[in-house]
Structure 1
Amino acid sequence: MTWGKRRRVVMGGTVRAKVRNGVLEPIEKIDLPEGEEVTVTVLDVPSGKDDKAFRRAAGSWKGLVDAETLIRNIYADRLISTRPEPLL
């Protein structure tokens, strides 16, 4: 949630779009007034190739890491405070 120029709350959302001739064209209808200025963040949609590589890697650490020890170490590290004590 951010504050717009007119001091109103602006809610964010996700809109899928396709690029045609260098212009983003929304796939679904957008409920915004004509001429409204928005900020767009572009994220790449993972390809099937990335998914296949991820699946091939599954289990590759088997036998190399003891899961129970790893989990205990993670929880132990969370107990260590690195923040200075606040002055009251």
Structure 2
Amino acid sequence: MGKTIKARFSKGVIEPMEKLDIAEGKEITRTIIEIPSLRKKDAFEKSAGRWKKTIDAEKLIKDIYEDRLTSTRNEPKP
């Protein structure tokens, strides 16, 4: 039987934040999934728009499409 609970890692110990109904001495397996902090998301959102007015977006798009038309493949031998 499996169950997902919240736990906190503090001072080298994983402490459950919920009551566990597990018999003393019972062998268990833990899977740890780190929940991303809000700080990382805030940093990403704060960076939005930082490229504005640093490049000419229209010229960049035009250059990309022109580069796609340039063939870099060798001609096949007859």
Tell me the TM-score normalised to structure 2 length.
0.48
Q: Per chain length, whose mean CA-contact separation is higher, i.e. which structure has more relative contact order (CA < 8 Å, sep 6+)?
A: 2
Larger Rg: 2
